[in-house]
């Protein structure tokens, strides 16, 4: 999958669903019931990534937060993600404990510490195709003014990303450029390196469409909330309906449990069982099969 992700990065921009993204925010809230405040661990994220990889036909890009510590911790994080089958991950420059890039009160480490994280990630990967994405939160860091930060913060972010790319990162990622003009300037300033953008509903970046991201020149655009926010809203409504009406019938929209199973691969599972049974019966020695059958193993 890492080589496949690299090939996608070479392609012309498109609005296709060519990869999946494991968001730290969604994983933290969904898997451990905590906000994105550095509570979830690297091992927990890797466990989730491994499940995603096992059922996905496209590359997985994962959130690796700050790398979970110093250079040795960063190296271990990369090794764990690689062993799970992840195609790439992003490492950021926030201080620890970090917080979601959309929240106030976040700050960044100095340039040297940030670059140590990037160098450690690049040096630690075993597969040279594993994609290292350098993220900076300088644009909205308290050091540069937080929510009221201006041009200085933007320029600092560009400076950090240029340094990270020079240190071996493959993709640049600035958390929350504030306007379309900034987004376009960011892509231009970092060319020809591929740049990623993060789009959240009513977030700091703006409510861009996939088409907007392509027109602005971003090679990758991630929409982390597409799954977990609608799912949380739906579950909240369903449980409230059960409490108020005594039934979840309306919220299930006519589905039976079998419909849910079919959605997650029931037909494929039954087909696999059938093919195994047929192959066993056709390939095994008929006499041996009768002996096994009489021993009640079948």
* Rounded Cα distance, 144 and 259, in Å: 52
* Rounded Cα distance, 72 and 78, in Å: 10
With cut-offs at 50, 70 and 90, classify the pLDDT of residue 10.
confident
Residues linked to residue 220 through DSSP beta bridges, in sequence order: 196
Phi, psi of 145 (to 5 degrees): 115, -5
Per-residue pLDDT for 13 more than 70?
A: no
* Rounded Cα distance, 194 and 61, in Å: 15
Average pLDDT, the chain: 91
* Rounded Cα distance, 262 and 260, in Å: 5
Per-residue pLDDT for 292 more than 80?
A: no
Q: Which domain holds residue 140?
A: 2-227
242 shares its domain with 214: no
Which pTM value belongs to this model? 0.87
Alpha carbons within 13 A on the beta-carbon side of 205: 26
Q: What is the pLDDT, as a whole number, of residue 151?
A: 87
204 shares its domain with 263: no
Can you tell me the mean pLDDT for 75-90?
A: 96
* Rounded Cα distance, 136 and 160, in Å: 7
CB 151 within 8 A of CB 104: no
With cut-offs at 50, 70 and 90, classify the pLDDT of residue 8.
confident
Helix, strand, or coil here: 60?
Answer: strand
Final residue in a domain of this structure, among 227, 246, 262: 227
Q: Which two tokens stand for residue 187?
A: 């892509």
CB 34 within 8 A of CB 91: no
> Percent of the chain at pLDDT above 70?
93
User: CA 227, 229, 235, 241: dihedral to nearest 10 degrees?
Assistant: -140
Residues linked to residue 22 through DSSP beta bridges, in sequence order: 62
Q: Identify which has the larger pLDDT, 195 or 12.
A: 195
Q: Is residue 92 part of a domain?
A: yes
Q: Is residue 233 part of a domain?
A: no
Per-residue pLDDT for 297 more than 60?
A: no
130 shares its domain with 276: no
173 shares its domain with 263: no
Number of domains in the chain: 2
Q: Is residue 216 part of a domain?
A: yes
110 shares its domain with 205: yes
With cut-offs at 50, 70 and 90, classify the pLDDT of residue 283.
confident
CB 173 within 8 A of CB 210: no
**Neighbour tally for 268: CB within 10 Å:** 10
Q: What is the pLDDT, as a whole number, of residue 287?
A: 63
pLDDT digits (tens, 9 = 90+) for 192-236: 999 999 999 999 999 999 999 999 999 999 999 999 999 999 999
Per-residue pLDDT for 261 more than 70?
A: yes
> Percent of the chain at pLDDT above 90?
76
Edge-to-edge order in the sheet of strand 20-22: 20-22, 60-63, 88-91, 131-136, 171-174, 195-198, 220-222
71 shares its domain with 216: yes
């Amino acid at each position: 999958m890492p080589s496949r992700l690299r090939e996608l990065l070479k392609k012309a921009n498109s609005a296709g669903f060519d990869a999946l993204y494991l968001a730290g925010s969604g994983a933290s809230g969904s898997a451990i019931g905590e906000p994105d405040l550095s509570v979830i661990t690297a091992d927990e994220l890797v466990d989730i990534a491994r499940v995603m990889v096992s059922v996905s036909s496209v590359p997985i890009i994962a959130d690796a937060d700050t790398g979970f510590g110093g250079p040795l911790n960063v190296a271990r994080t990369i090794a764990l993600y690689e062993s799970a089958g992840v195609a790439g991950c992003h490492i950021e420059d926030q201080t620890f404990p970090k917080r979601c890039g959309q929240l106030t009160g976040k700050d960044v480490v100095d340039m040297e510490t940030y670059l140590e994280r990037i160098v450690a990630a690049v040096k630690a990967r075993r597969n040279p195709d594993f994609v290292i994405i350098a993220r900076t939160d300088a644009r909205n860091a308290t050091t540069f003014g937080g929510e009221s930060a201006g041009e200085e913060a933007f320029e600092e972010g560009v400076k950090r990303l240029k340094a990270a790319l020079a240190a071996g990162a493959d993709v640049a990622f600035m958390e929350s450029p504030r306007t379309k003009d900034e987004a376009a300037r960011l892509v231009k300033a970092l060319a020809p390196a591929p740049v990623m953008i993060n789009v959240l509903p009513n977030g700091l970046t703006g409510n861009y469409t996939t088409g907007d991201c392509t027109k602005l020149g971003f090679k990758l655009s991630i929409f982390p909330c597409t799954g977990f926010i609608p799912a949380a809203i739906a579950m909240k409504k369903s449980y409230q309906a059960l409490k108020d009406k005594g039934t979840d019938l309306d919220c299930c929209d006519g589905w039976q449990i079998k419909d849910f199973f079919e959605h997650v691969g029931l037909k494929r599972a039954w087909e696999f069982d059938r093919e195994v049974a047929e192959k066993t019966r056709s390939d095994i020695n008929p006499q041996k099969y009768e002996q096994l059958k009489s021993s009640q193993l079948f």
